[in-house]
A and B are shown apart, each in its own frame.
Chain A
Amino acid sequence: MRSEQVRWLHEHYEFSLAELCELSGLSERELRGLVDRGAIAPVDPRARDWTFSADRLVVARSAHRLRRDFDLDQEGLALAIALLGRVRDLEEELRGLRARLPGEFPPGGVLSVRTSPRARASRAARRAPPKRATRRA
C-alpha cells in the first residue's frame, strides 16, 4: 500500500481566492463578504489578487458549513466566525496554561488543617449575636 503525500494546512502555503473558494465551497461573493467584514484576512489586503495562508482553509470550510447548516446571512456568518475564532484562541490559551500547571494540581492535593485557638476565638467572637440593648425606665 502506497503512502499518500500530505500537506500541512500551514501558514507557509498559500491559496488564491479561487482555490480557497473551490476547496471550501464558499462562493466568491461569500468569501469577499467575509474579508470585508474582517472574518477572514488575506495575506496582503492591498494586493490586487488576494492570497490566503493555507490555515485559512479551516476557517473558510467552517464558514461554508455554518452558512449551509444554519442559513446564516453575511453579517451573522461573520459574527459567528469572529466568535468561534475567539473561542479557539481562548481554548489555546487555556491549553497552554494547563500545560504549565503541575501534573498533580494542587501538588499533594488539598489538606484540611486545624486552626490555632487564637484564630478560633476571634471567629467565635465574630459569630456571637450582638447583645440586646436594655431600655431604661
Chain B
Amino acid sequence: MKYKDYYKVMGVERSAGADEIKQAYRKLARKYHPDVSKEPDAEEKFKEIGEAYETLKDPQKRAAYDRLGSHRPGEEFRPPPGWDTQFGEGQFHSGDGQFSFDDLDLSDLFSGIMGARRGAGGKIPVPGQDYEVTAHISLEEAYRGTEVDLDLQVPEHDERGFPHRVQRSFKARIPKGATDGQRLRLAGKGGKGANGGRDGDLYLNIALRPHRLFRVSGHDLFLDLPLAPWEAVLGTTLEVPTLGGSVQLKVPPGTRAGQQLRLAGRGLPKPRAGEGDLFAIVQIAVPSAAGEREHALYKELAGISTFNPRGHFGQEA
C-alpha cells in the first residue's frame, strides 16, 4: 500500500488543531472544488484534499492515521503490528494470514474504519459511490455515435467484507447527438451499495476534441470559407466539407466577408430528432503575390471602379 501524506496535502503541520485543518480545507476547497474551479487538475486535486480532510477531521481516523507513522509520499508501507486490532476492529485480518494490504488504497483503510463503526450501529443502507469520468471524443465520433472503453479503479468489498481496489472495464455506447458538456448516466455502474443501499451511478461527461476545420456551438458547426475576391463578387458554386461528406454550395454574387452561409441540417444530429446547422463564414482571401498580368488587371479595375468601401468614414454622426 502506498503512503499519502495527508498533512502535506492539506498544507498543515502534523500538530495542527482541528480548526486549523478545517480552515485549510475550506481554503483549498474554494480553489479546487470541481463545481467552481477552473484549475486544469481541479478534480484530481480536490479528490486528494477531500480524502485527506475526511481522515484528519475525524479524531479516531486521525489517530489511526498518525499511528501509521510518517513515510515518504508514494512509499510502499504496511501498518504497524496491532494497528488493525486497535483501529480496524480486526476487519482487515482474515484469520488465515492470507490477507494482504497490497491491493488497498490508503483511503480504503479509513473508510473501513467508518464501515466497521456503521456496521456496529446497525445495518444502515449505504448507497454506492457515484463516479464521474470525462470521455474525450472526436467530432466525427459525436456525429456517428461511438463506443468508449472505460477503465475504472474502484473500491469493492469481497464476501468476507474486506475492501479491495478492483479494475472494472466496460464499454459504453455514446449515441449520436453528443455535444460538448453533455452528460450521460449509466445507472448502477458506480460503486456497490452496502446493506441494501442502491448501487452508485456512473456519469459520463462528453468533451469534444478540437477539430481541424469545424468549430462547435451546441449542435451547430462553423467553418471558415475563404473566397477569392472574384468568387465573392461574381458568385460561384464550390464543394465544402461536412461531417457527412462534401456538398455543393452556391455562393451568391456580391457575397461579403463575415457573411454566414447557412447549410441547414448539416450540423451535429440532436439526441431526439433533427440536426444542427453548418455555417460557412466567408473570408476574402488575397493572394500573397500577384503575377504581372493579374497586377495589371487589378490596376485596370481600380481605375474604372467607383466602389468606395469607406464611404461611411466621412459621414457625420
Whether chain B is bound by chain A comes out as: yes
Q: CB within 8 Å of B: which residues of A?
A: 1-10, 12, 22-23, 54-55, 57-58, 61-62, 65-66, 69-70, 80, 84, 92, 95-96, 98-100, 102-104, 107
* Contact between A6 and B174, CB atoms less than 8 A apart: yes
Instruction: Establish whether residues A3 and B147, one from each chain, have CB atoms under 8 Å apart when the complex forms.
Output: yes
Residues of A within 8 A of B184 (CB): 6-9
Check B33 for interface membership: any CB of A closer than 8 A. Answer: yes
Is B189 a contact of A4 with CB atoms below 8 Å?
yes
The interface residues of chain A lying within 8 Å CB-to-CB of B224 are 102-104
A57 near B169: Cβ-Cβ < 8 Å? no
B29 interface hit (Cβ, 8 Å): yes
Extra contacts besides A7-B184, A9-B184 (14): CB < 8 Å = A3-B172, A5-B186, A6-B172, A6-B175, A7-B185, A10-B182, A12-B271, A61-B130, A65-B34, A70-B26, A95-B217, A99-B217, A100-B279, A102-B283
Contact A100-B281, Cβ < 8 Å, known A12-B272, A69-B33, A84-B36: yes
Mark interface residues in B231-271 (1 if CB within 8 Å of A CB, else 0): 00000000000000000000000000000100000000001
* CA A70 to CA B23, docked complex, whole Å: 11
Interface residues of B (CB under 8 A from A): 26, 29-30, 33-36, 50, 127, 130, 147, 169-175, 177, 180-187, 189, 198, 201, 203-204, 215-218, 220, 222, 224, 260, 271-272, 279, 281, 283
Report Cα–Cα, A95/B222, bound state, in Å: 12
By beta carbon, the residue of chain B nearest A10 is B271
B208 to chain A, nearest CB (A): 11
Smallest CB separation, B203 vs chain A (Å):
8
Could you say which residues of chain B place their CB within 8 Å of the CB of A12?
Answer: 271-272
Contacts of B222 in A (CB 8 A): 99-100
Given contacts A66-B35, A103-B215, contact A6 B185 (CB under 8 A): yes
Whether B183 lies near A98 (C-beta < 8 A) is: no
Contacts of B189 in A (CB 8 A): 4
A107–B283 CB distance below 8 A? yes
Measured CB to CB, the closest approach of chain B to A71, in angstroms, equals 9
| A8–B269 alpha-carbon span in the complex (Å) | 14
**Smallest Cβ distance from A37 to chain B, in angstroms?**
18
The answer to whether A62 touches B215 (Cβ under 8 A) is: no
List the 8 shortest-distance A-B pairs measured between CB atoms, nearest first.
A96-B217, A99-B215, A99-B217, A6-B184, A3-B171, A9-B183, A99-B222, A3-B173
Chain B CB within 10 Å — which of A8, A55, A62 has the most? A8
Determine if B50 and A69 form an interchain contact, defined as CB atoms under 8 angstroms apart.
Answer: yes
Distance in angstroms between the alpha carbons of A99 and B260 in the assembled complex: 12
Q: Is the CB of B185 within 8 A of A57?
A: yes
A1 lies within 8 A of B170 (CB): yes
C-alpha gap A98/B216 in the complex (Å) = 9
A111–B24 CA distance with the chains assembled, in angstroms: 49
Partner of B198, one of A5, A22, A58, A61: A22
B311 to chain A, nearest CB (A): 20
* Whole-angstrom CA separation of A66 from B217 in the bound complex: 28
Q: How far is the CB of B223 from chain A (nearest CB, A)?
A: 9
Please report the C-alpha to C-alpha distance between residue A54 and residue B174 in the assembled complex, in whole angstroms.
17
What is the bound-complex CA distance between A96 and B215, given in angstroms? 9
Can you report 6 A-B residue pairs in the complex whose CB atoms are below 8 A from each other? A3-B173, A6-B174, A10-B182, A65-B34, A92-B181, A100-B260
